[in-house]
Structure 1
């Protein structure tokens, strides 16, 4: 009995232990589940808070950095104070002295007081007890401050006498800049003196525009008139619709275009006159792609500017793929280190996608990306190009570049891309451009820095002088040449000629003036242009768009009429003056054609300006080096060829000057025949003495061995250098000397 009871108790204990174990397991499971549930709930609630906290920390860090940069920019200017006695014992006293002085001066000029935090550092220049004088600099404000009184009243504190040492505030400046002299008033037309003294950065304005058509010169005249109101230096053009390939130089710009089908497509460039000399080459790839290689100021590497006109979305896939393949091939073959690709891409980029941050910025127009937009992004990714339109924040109404004919749809389809975005300071859309197109101009600002002492180029041959200006030139020249015999008595021929040439050119420059701008359009045309300009700048509506379209047609018709009237007046004026129209044709032909490309000896076309010059030089060197049969001629037996050549007479020089043709291009010295004719009485005796010295010494000035060679196209293949006729533009003084110096001329042979 006891044994049975014992076994029963053991079984009960075993069951109780099993129940306890199961209960413990269940409790652990429930605890784990509850813990996981609570933890996940807490994490779910806390995650947004943590992320927000991290975001706020980043923003605080960014704001601190920006605040530091702004304070650094505000404190970066130097202020040099003069006349402060050195009574301070420590830097704190020096700081108080400077603050009191600045606030005293500011109170006199009604300026806001300076705070201590605005001054980063204060110290004295030079060693203690030094008496060295330093240049006086006009104090500049530490931060932008506007006086409370009228802006027209400028307060300029008078500097005191120089102290033993100078006190500076701001960034250390051990060598303050020297005071620069003001430039000549003529120089001010080209350079801002204030910016120039500070060696300030300036920009080159590079723009692109779809003009819809420049098929006629009337359209081109309308475009150039509209460009007067905006800033631009290089303008890429799409849809020019001209056939062929030409480079035309006008008075204010250089015009290049490339077209293959009359009335369709076509691309090109307009280059402002101050950059014409920097052009390296134009390469016309097709009627949708053109390349400009140009050397911009202070950039060692050449800039390649690619202007394009892309197929529309409706074009077939093969055409679109070939277009982008041609762009990639052009970039590989012809472009340089610095690259710009711009034009009408007919593409919508939409918003930036992951992985596109290097090519597309956050400031885009619209969210939809088209097929052409996808191709554009791939082009940018493949060539490391950044779309500048998306880099700078602008208002939405200043982003779109194309509007549908009815004004319903607006898109951003014109872009400027570059592989050097750090060199650019801005990219924007020109909102109010007075030209007949439904595209808006896209313009980017490229940062450059001007040279310290540029000299503006002056071409005296491009200015039509008045009779009063000629009188002033002759008067100035007469004053300079009074002491010619005394000043040049012991000079060699070369030095005498230099003296004469410098005297003439300096007399011309003393009376130079701005080139008079001719009135291109009538008052009626200008009124129509002004009316359209006001409509473009106002709020769009259907009635205004219809009126703009009507005005554009009237403007085109009026410009055509004005140009015709101007041509007739020019022809009539020259017929009355000379009885012919040869000079009228020369005046109306107001452009010079450049050679687009020539073939070298190996049959390869070269388009770089340097290569074209080299090919032409080598061709004519080889041509003149060839042996030719000598022509024999018999001299008049009455002429004694062994006798001495008689001296040149003054009346011969006067006759030579009088018989020189007018309206002829001068040589490298820029001295035209009109100057020689007007100053005949002053120059004739001087030229007589000079020409006789040349005959005696048998040496000529170095300037007479140089000339400008102009190549004129005759006929045949334009890419063959042999189809061009060279013309030398030599010094007119040399031409004058050649007439009386011919020993066997009719007049001189009679004196033998």
Structure 2
């Protein structure tokens, strides 16, 4: 009686939307007789509901989505260095989960520069042997502007990262997965975690390397078994393990069972074939309360498709254009700036002591601001040929996805695209080096060198000031002792007019100052002295002689230096892996250099 009721219900629904969804009797006959007719009824009902809702949803969704949707992405990138403009697309997400990055600690700087407004956890890829290539590797990043009460990010092992967010809807656990060598360990570890939060919000996504056909979906009230749509019809050994684990832990697969991916799109399209091996897995509570949409996004950079998820969780709007820019404040030293600087120096007169001279220099320097676009810029080597090759690859890939045919054409097209990109990069670099060799000034040569250098590592914020003090105190020989004493009569330095600092001495030292060097505590750069002219040199000479003759005390700020930690190698969070450089005030450096030269002459 119950089965007949389900059949009648299915027929009524089928009759209503037969023309729209082309559900024929022939289709129905292809299904087995184990209650799956009820499954089709459920799917038809969902499609009908989505179709009716979408007319309103599509209009409202764009507005609501900007303000409230928490955006998450899971993606097997097959090497972060393969990404080009895809980096900019990733900035649209609040939580980014990347697997198979082939990245180690050396790539941290690249990742941090691309994801500048994110907190990042890097799980290093492993190298097989000393010369083997890197394999695996994971990155999970979440926006620094995320509107949550608290966040905890944790590496469980080389194939699992856990991110806990305390949101306005409650606690949400996001697990990034890359099933490779530790499958049994991973399932056991996650299973234990789920036991503690059975009623919580859980999202588990990534590359499971398992094929599950159309199984593992959410069980509806009308169904006797789980069912979902999928364009992959194969269940392999790894898939059976995943299906058993999902069933035992009260979870289910969202792919092919959610708005945005109603058909169960393919997630892997490569030379080895087409399949669904990347999933988002959740529980009933999470889907009903939070999940608005999931989408499988096609791309040319990886054989794996990106899985995008949108949750109904309030979050700050962090994807504004303004977030792509940062303001840099710097000193201007163009010809016009130097002229204005010297005119300003004349207007400000001639101060009689160091404090006055310092303030005069600060007031005269031209301070400028510039907004830098931190988004991914178009590559110099990218041209129309690259664009055309990418479009052709996209077109061939689409046909391969839809029909399963033209695999050879797709593989050849992908090889051709990669070769064009590699050739363009190589030719552009050769051209740049050729121009650098012809440049007699050496400016272009150093520009090229600096572009290819990795930038200096940022100082770890986890090291406290006490640790820095202890570390540099040890480097300087233990304790730092301040010692002052009066010179005895026999120790006093004899002074006469011939010993006074000359203008020639000041000029010689200033001539040897290097440009573009960091300033000391007073923020006066070498350029302020270099471009100041003879009048400024005479002013400085007079003040230095007052200090030399004892008419004015050595400025207190000259007795201090700023120690700047420079990362060497190893763990960034340990102070012993840093060396220090001391930044002194430029006025003191000029004075000290004059004295050093005098001492050399006396030897």
* TM-score normalised per structure 1: 0.50
Alpha-carbon shift at residue 268 of structure 1 (Å)? 1.9
CA distance 1:531–1:303, shift in 2 (3 Å) = same
Q: Residues of 2 paired with 1:549 and 1:738: CA distance?
A: 64
- Match for residue 641 of structure 1? 493
2:130 is equivalent to residue 269 of structure 1 = no
- Match for residue 590 of structure 2? 739
- Match for residue 540 of structure 2? 688
Alignment of 1:242-321 (within 5 A): 247-249=108-110, 251-253=113-115, 256-260=122-126, 261=128, 262-263=132-133, 265-269=135-139, 285-290=156-161, 306-311=175-180, 319-321=182-184
Q: Residues of 1 paired with 2:162 and 2:69: CA distance?
A: 21
Q: Residues of 1 paired with 2:267 and 2:565: CA distance?
A: 45
Aligned residues: 506
**What do the CA deviations read for 1:285-307 (whole angstroms, capped 9, x no partner)?**
544234679x99x99x9998643
- Match for residue 135 of structure 1? none
- Match for residue 561 of structure 1? 423
Look at both structures and tell me which one has the larger radius of gyration over its CA atoms. Answer: 1
Match of residue 527, structure 1, among 385, 388, 391 = 388
Q: Residues of 2 paired with 1:281 and 1:618: CA distance?
A: 30
- Match for residue 122 of structure 1? none
2:233 is equivalent to residue 377 of structure 1 = no
CA distance 1:629–1:557, shift in 2 (3 Å) = farther
Alignment of 1:582-731 (within 5 A): 584-592=448-456, 610-611=462-463, 618-624=470-476, 626=478, 641=493, 643=495, 655-662=508-515, 676=528, 679-681=531-533, 684=536, 688=540, 695=547, 696-701=552-557, 705-713=561-569, 721=574, 724-728=577-581, 730=583
CA distance 1:612–1:660, shift in 2 (3 Å) = same
- Match for residue 444 of structure 1? 309
Q: Residues of 1 paired with 2:587 and 2:201: CA distance?
A: 50
User: What's the secondary structure of 2:108's corresponding residue?
Assistant: strand
Q: Residues of 2 paired with 1:421 and 1:397: CA distance?
A: 18
- Asked if 1 retains the 8 angstrom alpha-carbon contact of 2:216 and 2:228, the reply is no
Q: Residues of 1 paired with 2:415 and 2:243: CA distance?
A: 37
Any gaps of 5 or more consecutive residues in structure 1?
Answer: 1-40, 53-69, 74-143, 146-194, 215-219, 356-360, 596-607, 631-638
Alignment of 1:1-40 (within 5 A): none
Alpha-carbon shift at residue 449 of structure 1 (Å)? 2.0
Q: Residues of 1 paired with 2:507 and 2:338: CA distance?
A: 16
CA distance 1:443–1:338, shift in 2 (3 Å) = same
User: What's the secondary structure of 2:379's corresponding residue?
Assistant: coil
User: What's the secondary structure of 1:247's corresponding residue?
Assistant: helix
CA distance 1:445–1:354, shift in 2 (3 Å) = closer
User: What's the secondary structure of 2:591's corresponding residue?
Assistant: coil
RMSD over aligned Cα atoms: 6.4
- Asked if 1 retains the 8 angstrom alpha-carbon contact of 2:217 and 2:257, the reply is no
Alpha-carbon shift at residue 436 of structure 1 (Å)? 3.6
Alpha-carbon shift at residue 252 of structure 1 (Å)? 2.9
Alignment of 1:104-503 (within 5 A): 201=67, 205-211=71-77, 213-214=78-79, 220-228=80-88, 231-233=91-93, 234-241=95-102, 247-249=108-110, 251-253=113-115, 256-260=122-126, 261=128, 262-263=132-133, 265-269=135-139, 285-290=156-161, 306-311=175-180, 319-327=182-190, 341-347=204-210, 348=212, 350-353=216-219, 370-374=239-243, 377=246, 393-397=259-263, 399-403=265-269, 410-411=275-276, 413-415=278-280, 426-437=292-303, 439-445=304-310, 447-449=314-316, 457-459=326-328, 470-471=334-335, 473-474=337-338, 483-485=347-349, 493=355, 497=358, 500-501=361-362
User: What's the secondary structure of 1:626's corresponding residue?
Assistant: coil
**What do the CA deviations read for 1:66-98 (whole angstroms, capped 9, x no partner)?**
xxxx9xx9xxxxxxxxxxxxxxxxxxxxxxxxx
User: What's the secondary structure of 1:740's corresponding residue?
Assistant: helix
- Asked if 2 retains the 8 angstrom alpha-carbon contact of 1:206 and 1:443, the reply is yes
CA distance 1:508–1:303, shift in 2 (3 Å) = farther
Q: Residues of 2 paired with 1:247 and 1:644: CA distance?
A: 59
**What do the CA deviations read for 1:392-426 (whole angstroms, capped 9, x no partner)?**
5124347543347576x543632276998899675
User: What's the secondary structure of 1:269's corresponding residue?
Assistant: strand
CA distance 1:242–1:456, shift in 2 (3 Å) = closer
Q: Residues of 2 paired with 1:585 and 1:281: CA distance?
A: 39
- Asked if 1 retains the 8 angstrom alpha-carbon contact of 2:176 and 2:206, the reply is yes
Alpha-carbon shift at residue 283 of structure 1 (Å)? 6.2
* TM-score normalised per structure 2: 0.60
User: What's the secondary structure of 2:109's corresponding residue?
Assistant: strand
User: What's the secondary structure of 2:73's corresponding residue?
Assistant: strand
Alpha-carbon shift at residue 706 of structure 1 (Å)? 3.7
- Asked if 1 retains the 8 angstrom alpha-carbon contact of 2:265 and 2:296, the reply is no
Any gaps of 5 or more consecutive residues in structure 2?
Answer: 13-52, 483-490
Q: Residues of 2 paired with 1:663 and 1:231: CA distance?
A: 33
- Asked if 1 retains the 8 angstrom alpha-carbon contact of 2:521 and 2:562, the reply is yes
Q: Residues of 2 paired with 1:304 and 1:682: CA distance?
A: 67
CA distance 1:222–1:434, shift in 2 (3 Å) = same
Alpha-carbon shift at residue 746 of structure 1 (Å)? 2.3
